[in-house]
Structure 1
Amino acid sequence: MRIFNFFLFLAIIPLFFSCSSEDSSSNSVPDGFTLVIDGETINVTSVQAFRFDKWIEVAGYGANGKSIDFKFSITGSLYDAFVFSTNSNNPFGPKSTFEYYNENTFNFDLVSYDSNTRRVSVNFSGKVYDDEYDHTSDFSIVSGSFNVEFIVQDALLPGYGTTAKINGNDWYGMSFDSSDDNTVTELHVLSSGKYFFDIAYESGNPIVGNYSFSNNTAIRGIRFYEYDVNTHEIINYNVSGSVNFTECTNNYVKGTFSLTATHPISGSTINVTQGTFKEAL
């Protein structure tokens, strides 16, 4: 489970040494934060809310320790939501939204986002699981809303994330994990929807350049997948396309891509255009 609160970690560290880039407080009682967990109304007494470039993290802390944390894009794509307890005498969770296609089991409605007033408003409801990779694991039902002011923090990696148009529809995602066999590094990039990508490149010595790829390409390519809610299996599409790595270091890669994905059984095709990525290990 992705329990490590990485957005808040990036925010809290600078707060010890310098002021925020915006004059605001992250510890005041929220103007509006309601939370119900398995029918229990939680008295949310404090909130932290930060924006890093295109991503926002909002955490609401309950008086009894039961709390919730959200990570999402400014366009409303939910990366992760999980519940947990800050009270060791009242343990609970952690439970997280399902890893794949979370919008199928969790409703996250971005009501409003205002960069000028630095406010974000959301309604939410759905399931959070004991094991976010197992749709049969125990879960809790959460619901509520928040309307809070966020602090703007400088991102350590500006422009972080992946965007594309899938059959003309906007797609926003972010890497959650990576794998490396000492030859090929693959960054696994998820969104709230059913489609997701892998970005593959050579380990340890990524090379800038424009490359064509297909299913037979071992490195320097993009993989395309779909989570099937009926079979609960991951469909690995056949792909052909091009990727342009414009910046490569041992810590992150940046570039653009486009591809055509073909379903391995039905033969139906999906066009992915205007792909951009800047993802870190």
Structure 2
Amino acid sequence: MKRLLPALLAGALLTGCATPRNNYDPLEPINRETYALNRALDRAVLKPTATAYAKHVPQPVQKGVSNFFGNIDDLFSTLAALLQFKGTAAAHSGSRVLVNTTVGIGGLIDWGTGLGMRKGEEDFGQVLGFYGVPTGPYLMLPLYGPLTLRDSVEPIGRYFAGPLDFIESDAWSVGYYAMYLVDSRVRLLPLDTLLESQPDEYAYIRDAYLQRRWAAVHDGHPPHPLPLGELDDDDQLDDFDPGPTDGPIAHDASAVEPADTAVPDTGSASEPAAEAASGSAP
């Protein structure tokens, strides 16, 4: 599963809270302002809507909606896995798309999981990382959420080659994204208490997102913890480079583990927060 946390879910901005400089966040003042805006919109609109949806919409309907968007995730994950020569991962996610789109009525029913087909965990940001493209700066986008410059290729690609390409009506397009946002927010409702307990939710979400992406590029086995704080003179900023700069990373395509199975422990974020800060938009 990989969905970028919609910006409307971002946690509260605690003003006046000093935090260490982060190597990947040169735009922190602007990002924090955007984060505060997103949080305000979340409190006013998205969270109440998601809460009502979770309470009143029947569970089979909610499950069908989640499966539908998950099936789109699997399609893009298949393409991303192929571009990284991950044959086993591509076979699993591609088989899921085939089975769930046909027998599963357009992805509303998930037959693939019951048949032992693993859900895809690849995306186009990981593809660029595979070929040595640096992460670029961390970004908090209005009405979207956390990204890095490199990861922005994923939502851009989905916008120009996703389901909306086949939707001519503006009303249907708005409905599609509104339903996606609500579905994403419902799944993250249990994490609200955890996020709100942090002294600086912005830094918590940011560091969790960066660590998760670092782990994802290395298929859950990063070579070392991500250097999030200020660097010493002898330190080198890895900048999310997945290996030597003169060539792609060498992966074992037959033994790929989901990228969310390991997040480097730098003491700044936990696995639940990493889950909240990850994902991909259809």
More strand by share: 1
TM-score with structure 2 setting the length: 0.29
Larger Rg over CA atoms: 1
Q: Which of structures 1 and 2 has the larger relative contact order (alpha carbons within 8 angstroms, sep 6+)?
A: 2
TM-score with structure 1 setting the length: 0.29
More helix by share: 2
